[in-house]
Amino acid sequence: MIPLIPTRILGMGSFVPPNCVDNTELSKRVDTSDEWIRTRTGILERCIAEDDQATSDLAFEASVSAIRDADVRPEEIDLVIVATITPDMAFPATACLLQHKLGLGKVACFDLEAACSGFLYALDVADGMLASGRYSCALVVGAEKMSSILDWEDRTTCVLFGDAAGAAVVSKKGKGPELLGFQCGADGSDPSLLHKPGGGSRMPATSETILKREHFLKMNGREIFKSAVRVMERAVRELLDKHSMNMKEVDHVIPHQANARIVESLAQRLEVPIEKFFCNLDKYGNTSAASVPLAIDQGRKEKKFTTGEVGILVAFGAGLTWSATLVRF
- In the complex, the residues that contact ligand UT7 under the rule CB under 6 A are 32, 36-37, 40-41, 116, 155-156, 159, 219, 221-222, 224-225, 228, 258-259, 286, 317
CB-nearer residue toward ligand UT7: 44 or 310:
44
CB of 201 to ligand UT7, least distance (A): 24
If one counts every other C-beta atom within 10 angstroms of the C-beta of residue 25, the result is 11
Q: Which of 197, 221 has the CB closer to ligand UT7?
A: 221
Per DSSP, the three-state class of 166 is strand
Asked about 246 being catalytic, the answer comes back as no
Active site residue 23: no
286 classed as catalytic:
yes
Nearer to ligand UT7, 263 or 270 (CB): 263
Q: Tell me whether residue 137 or residue 290 sits nearer to ligand UT7 (CB atom).
A: 290
Which residue is closest to ligand UT7 by CB?
Answer: 221
> Which stretches of the chain are assigned E, i.e. beta strand?
7-15, 20-22, 45-47, 79-83, 108-112, 137-145, 163-171, 178-186, 194-195, 218-219, 252-255, 310-317, 321-328
Instruction: Estimate to the nearest angstrom the gap between the alpha carbon of 77 and the chain centroid.
Output: 21
Q: Do 170 and 78 form a contact (C-beta atoms < 8 A)? A: no
Spatial CB neighbours of 245, under 8 Å, sequence gap ≥ 6: 310, 326
Closest separation in Å from C-beta 157 to ligand UT7: 7
- Find all residues with CB under 8 Å of 89, minimum gap 6, and list them: none
Q: What is the β-pairing status of strands 137-145 and 79-83?
A: parallel
**Rounded least distance, CB 221 to ligand UT7, Å:** 3
Nearer CB in complex with ligand UT7: 8/155: 155
- Active-site residue (options: 23, 195, 252, 256): 256
Q: How far apart are CA 179 and CA 325, in angstroms?
A: 7
Q: How far is the CB of 317 from ligand UT7 (least distance, A)?
A: 5
- Residue tagged active-site, from 96, 116, 137, 279: 116
Q: Active-site positions?
A: 116, 256, 286
